[in-house]
Every structure is written in C-alpha cells, then in structure tokens.
Amino acid sequence: MFLTLDPMYWMMVAPCFLLGLLASLWVKMAFAAGQRHATPISGAEAARRILDNAGLMDVGIEETPGQLSDHYDPSARVLRLSSEVYHGYTASAVGVAAHEAGHALQHATQYAPLMVRNLAVPLASLGSGAGLWMFILGMMFSLGWLIHVGIILFAAVVFFQVVNLPVEFNASTRAKAELANMGIFSSEARSSVNSVLTAAAMTYVAATLQAIMTLVYLLMKSRD
C-alpha cells in the first residue's frame, strides 16, 4: 500500500505505533505478573458472581478456544472466556473475566457509548478495508469523489475507535469496583488486576491515536 511508503505517514503515526507496541508489551508483562498471584476463585466464577449480583443470571458463560479471545457477545447474551481465563485461579484470569462481565453490565443498563459503538460496527468494518482502498484508487486515477468516499468511510473507523474508548475504560472501572466489593482478594491481587486492566486500556488508546493520525494524513494528501 503506497501510503505505508510515504515518510510523512510514518512521521505522523510512528509515535502512536510505538505506543501500541509498548502497550502490548505492558499487557503481556502485566498478565504474566498477574498469573503469579493466586485467587480464591477462577475467572469464570468471578464473572458468574458479578453477573448474578447484577441480576443477570440469564447471561451465560462459555469456554472458547484461543488465547485472550475473551469477549461478551451481546446478541447471544453470553460471556466467552478463553480456557486460560475460564479455569484460571489467578489475578490475570479474574481481571479479564471481570472486564468482560463489565460489558454485560453495560449492555443490561443500555450504556449509551456501548449502544452507539454496536451501531457503528458494520460501517467501521467496511471503512477499515474498503475506505483505504477507495482512497488509494481515487488518488491513483484522480477521482475526487472516490477519495472523498474513502475518507468518509475511514472516518467511521475513527468514530468507532473514539466511542470505544469510554466503553473499554468504563468496563474496567466496573470490573475493579465489583471485585473490590467482593472483599475476597488480597491487596496484591487487586493491584495486579488493576495493572492488567490499565495496560489493556492503553492498547485502545494507541489504536485510537493511530486511526486519528491516519485520517489526518488522508485529509492532507487529498488536498495535494
């Protein structure tokens, strides 16, 4: 893709890209550290307690293959936890499971940013691929209308990333509060959980900044 060969592009997104790499490394280190702190309940049990305390007994919890493939499926009303998290009696497993349970709590309370994010998913999925290609083809063949369509579609990706930030931070905040209310974790375990959740949040910040800077780059190139 020609934009990745442009030095200006890398000057603009390199800091965000570096932040993303550092955040990813932080997540791995925090998760590894959290695995050294044992907890009295597993990730699945922690998630079940959080859901039940919120009256969400009808939300299921399933084991799913993959590493860190954990997610909440709002259409099926199911928490899907990786085997490591589902069965893990560690601060890392409990933290990840509690975060995903936080998304279920958001869904149950119709948390506005989550509702907006879910509506934006189809357009953002289209914009992440088709948007850039439309922009590139528009630049190659000097088709202004195609350039503008590409920018608009990629702007949907940026919108999704921006809206996703409060969703992820709020889920982590809910997770920390719910785990603290249980009163069954040591201060070391809670500190480790908080580190995992904070590190994970920074990956979303990096992705958002990179998307924003890419959009700025596209706008600048469209005026050349």
* Residue positions annotated with a catalytic role: 100
215 to 6, 157, 181: CA distances (angstroms): 14, 9, 42
- Measured from the Cβ of residue 207, the count of other Cβ atoms closer than 10 Å reads 18
Structure tokens at 88: 């893990």
Structure-block tokens of residue 77: 């009303």
Q: Which of 160, 135, 157, 137 is nearest to 148 (CA)?
A: 135
Would residue 72 be called left, alpha or beta, if left means φ above 0 and alpha means ψ between -120 and 50 degrees? beta
